[in-house]
Chains A and B, each alone.
Chain A
Amino acid sequence: MAGFRSYGAYVPLHRIDRAEFNRAWGGFPLPGERSVASYDEDSITMAVEAAIDCLRGFDAKSVDGLYFATTTSPYKERLCASIIAAALDMRSDIRVMDTTGTLRAGTIAIGAALDAVNAGGADSVLVVVADCRMGAPAGTLEQALGDGAAALLVVRDGAAVEVRDSYSISDDFSGMWRADQDQFVRSWEDRMAHDVGYSAVLPRAMIGVMEKCGLSSDDVSKVVYDSPTDMRRHLRIAGELKIPPAKVQDSMFLTVGNTGSALASMMLVAALEEAKAGDTILFASHGNGADAFVLDVTPAIEAVGQRRAIARHLESKRMVKNYETYLRWRDLVTLEAAQRPPKPPTSLAALWRSGKDILCLYGVRCLNCGTPQYSTPTVFGGGNPTRVCVSCRAKDQFEPYCFADKKGTICTFTLDHLAASPDPPAAVSVIDFEGGGRAVFEMTDRDPDRITVGMPLEMTFRKLYTDRGIHNYYWKTRPVRC
């Protein structure tokens, strides 16, 4: 039976204490903290992180499709799934799709992936859900929302979690929305938004799938469904279904916040981290209707290797210094311009030519002397693949060699206070890769006071900056996260 073979998730390193919003604006403080994507993170970069987590131990080239779900696509016209698939080094003969426009985008993509494998169009499809929504400053949503991502590998055979059945409802009511020009989430008066858009529709889908499966609430080991920005309403639904609160998966409101379309899938990953063979999970999410699934955990759950998923990502955190940092990272205030030269224009031609090298960090390994090498593309030359070996100078005798999954150590570094950066000082690291190879990268998610020569590093996929609507994605180093 079709289902999920593997899972993964991503929570940004940075969190902000919700008291910081109250310090800035006064008003009504929400409890706990929320996750904050760094200035160089967006839905695509978080999706790549979650997908890498999900595919640990799998060959990305064995996966037949990638569906990306988000309400915060960096592009109106450009397929993000293809960018993510390229970063993961997937095959080109795969099915790709972006689903968007609703908080239910993640479960819609899961449903479509299940249909694809059940219909025989693909043996496996990786579904990645990420969101990075913004509430307007001084509002409740600014405090309530969070950033994060989840990934589920949908397969026809060998599932660790089988999908017994599903039930969907379409409903046009939308208590929250963003028009095509909106930067921030808009909301109708919240009582109606929740009453009609959430509380009225989500239980119907859950009951629908339970009836299809002949399932009673006693048969459910765990119930996983997303939360509105109101924690009490979340638990009330379980009460309606006569499911005790102990079986309700935590909505992470106090630790991560509402991660939009990614929330339900992130909660499911958290549940699967603790699931045992034989468990039955009721899984649902809402947004212009609702989707619900009944999941059966199989013994294959034990074979899913260790993941960072939710638990380890939650433990690994760093508090954002203050609300002003949040404003700066989200580009919500106009800052004094650094008296530094503007970035030179990005050449789409150069990006395309080096696409594989840039998006999945391919260098080469010399077939003559065995030296792995990566040549940072700069205006002064360089770029990959290098044509002449840095070590033995053999010409064009190389095999592709991926550095994205290699860890390494700091050869040397600096903290640059002159360079314009949204997170000064700009940390620049020279990494010596395990197995050989060296390159210079910006270093992100770092504590400037704790960088040392010899420190272990890993690579992380980030957004550099945007020129004429071209988002430039590339890799940076960071201290090994967890």
Chain B
Amino acid sequence: MTESIKDRVAIVGMGCTKFGELWDKSAVDLTVEAAYEAFQDAGVGPDDIQAAWFGTFYGLTSFGLSTPLKLQYKPVTRVENMCATGSDALRNACYAVAAGIYDVVLALGVEKIKDQGLSGLDVTGGGFPSSNVAPITTAPSVFAMAATKYFARYGLSPEEGKTMLAKIMVKNHHNGSLNPRAHFQRELTMDQVLNAPIIAWPLGLFDCCGVSDGAAAAIVVRAEDAKAFRSDPVFVKALQVCVGPGAGAMDNDYDYTHSEETYRAGLAAYAEAGIRNPRQEVSMAEVHDCFSITEAIVMEDLQFSPRGRVKDDIDAGTFNLNAELPVQPDGGLKCFGHPIGASGLRMMYEMYKQLQGKAGPRQIKDPQIGLTHNMGGQPQAAAVSCLMVGL
């Protein structure tokens, strides 16, 4: 019998650095800053940490965490699951506590991408040596192909489709403008988004999220111990990861207009958390808006909008801050930025602060359930996490 994680573990401390092009900070700086903010928030010190999970995509090995923090002979595991790395580090930490093995653990994700000196993400490296015949693809190009197909399938002209996507990014920039830790803190107009240079047709510059440096961390304890750490712990309601067979690019039946992994991770998370009507019961969400089209199709995959109809909700402002179902209250990947290994934990940081009523000018009124959706890979081949938390 599969057991649920619901209300078995709690987050009692979190930290998150400012994200951005942090030329004057190293991965060590970011790791220490995120960890010590989380320690302080939870009222613990490094010696209280019994085990740790370290999420990084470009970094390597558990030393990336133990060395900066001078952790003393603790079990540390490096976690990598593409762009869903940070949330998977948190998931593993939660399971270890739920299993009753540890009382206090740390999950931390960090990335120092801007030291690479590249435009965009390097998606060529790693893995086993290959024959090198895979087509040239960049992160924008693989998501752009979902946009191309979405427009074609639902009969949107390029102008209609791009306008729909631009509204998402204007919303996220508005939210980001209220967030002092975000990489980008400037409002954008529709014209600015629509007239931006094309990166990968039909996606323009402002359809793409920031490539950033940053780190985020969480302290996880048993639910029954949580109140001993603080009066307002945040309880984990669901932890789901779904890794697909990676076959959308070879299977004629895949429609290229949805992420099956997201749909299934959402279904499983709702079941685990006891959610029957996601649109009504989820108070707010941080989803993986690496590109505008990703947020659009994820709204449908998470059952916030009917298939092919997300445009109606975007036009109605359903996902705006302080509207029916705020999505990306902190600005999302688009504005907060996307240091790969840290992003999942950054999403959780916003949900955590919102549930505690500490989100400042972005504060959502009386949220009960927050959802994070963290997506690695591509629409046709993804590793997706869907985590839910509440009071």
Q: Which residues of A contact B (CB under 8 A)?
A: 338-341, 343-347, 349-351, 354, 358, 373-383, 386, 390-391, 411-421, 425-426, 428, 430, 432, 436-442, 453-454, 464, 467, 472, 474, 476
Given contacts A349-B129, A378-B134, A453-B148, A418 and B199 within 8 Å (CB-CB): yes
Write the nearest CB–CB distance from A22 to chain B, whole angstroms.
34
Q: List 20 A-B contacts (CB under 8 A).
A: A345-B132, A347-B131, A350-B129, A350-B130, A373-B250, A375-B250, A377-B134, A380-B127, A383-B130, A390-B251, A412-B146, A412-B148, A414-B201, A414-B203, A425-B201, A428-B136, A428-B137, A453-B149, A464-B133, A467-B132
Q: Which of B132, B149, B199, B381 contacts A464 (CB 8 A)?
A: B132
The CA of A430 and the CA of B141, in the complex, are separated in Å by: 12
Given contacts A381-B246, A412-B148, A414-B200, A472 and B132 within 8 Å (CB-CB): yes
**Chain A, residue nearest B249 (CB):** A440
Cβ–Cβ < 8 Å partners of A441 in chain B: 135
Cβ–Cβ < 8 Å partners of A411 in chain B: 149, 252, 256
Write the nearest CB–CB distance from A390 to chain B, whole angstroms.
5
Question: Which DSSP category, helix, strand, loop or mixed, fits chain B's interface?
Answer: loop
Cβ–Cβ < 8 Å partners of A415 in chain B: 198, 200-201
Question: Is B280 among interface residues, defined by CB-CB distance under 8 A?
Answer: no
The CA of A228 and the CA of B325, in the complex, are separated in Å by: 75
Residue from B125, B129, B145, B252 having most chain A Cβ neighbours under 10 A: B252
Q: Which of B128, B197, B256 contacts A430 (CB 8 A)?
A: B256
Question: Is B195 among interface residues, defined by CB-CB distance under 8 A?
Answer: no
Given contacts A343-B124, A439-B249, A439-B250, A379 and B256 within 8 Å (CB-CB): no
Cβ–Cβ < 8 Å partners of B134 in chain A: 376-379, 382, 440
Which residues of B from 134 to 166 have beta carbons under 8 Å from A? 134-138, 140-142, 144-146, 148-149, 152
In the complex, the answer to whether B132 meets A341 with C-beta atoms within 8 Å is no
Q: 7 tightest CB-CB pairs across the interface, nearest first?
A: A379-B127, A347-B129, A414-B144, A412-B149, A415-B201, A416-B141, A453-B152
Cβ–Cβ < 8 Å partners of A432 in chain B: 252
In the complex, the answer to whether B118 meets A374 with C-beta atoms within 8 Å is no
The CA of A425 and the CA of B251, in the complex, are separated in Å by: 26
Cβ–Cβ < 8 Å partners of A425 in chain B: 198, 200-201
Cβ–Cβ < 8 Å partners of A412 in chain B: 145-146, 148-149, 152, 256
The CA of A421 and the CA of B141, in the complex, are separated in Å by: 13
Task: Determine the interface band of chain B, counting residues with CB < 8 A from chain A.
Answer: 35 or more
Given contacts A379-B127, A412-B149, A428-B145, A339 and B117 within 8 Å (CB-CB): yes
In the complex, the answer to whether A346 meets B148 with C-beta atoms within 8 Å is no
The CA of A78 and the CA of B201, in the complex, are separated in Å by: 40
Question: Is B312 among interface residues, defined by CB-CB distance under 8 A?
Answer: no
In the complex, the answer to whether A416 meets B131 with C-beta atoms within 8 Å is no
Cβ–Cβ < 8 Å partners of A390 in chain B: 245, 247, 250-251
Write the nearest CB–CB distance from B378 to chain A, whole angstroms.
10
Question: Is B360 among interface residues, defined by CB-CB distance under 8 A?
Answer: no
In the complex, the answer to whether A440 meets B135 with C-beta atoms within 8 Å is yes
In the complex, the answer to whether A438 meets B249 with C-beta atoms within 8 Å is yes
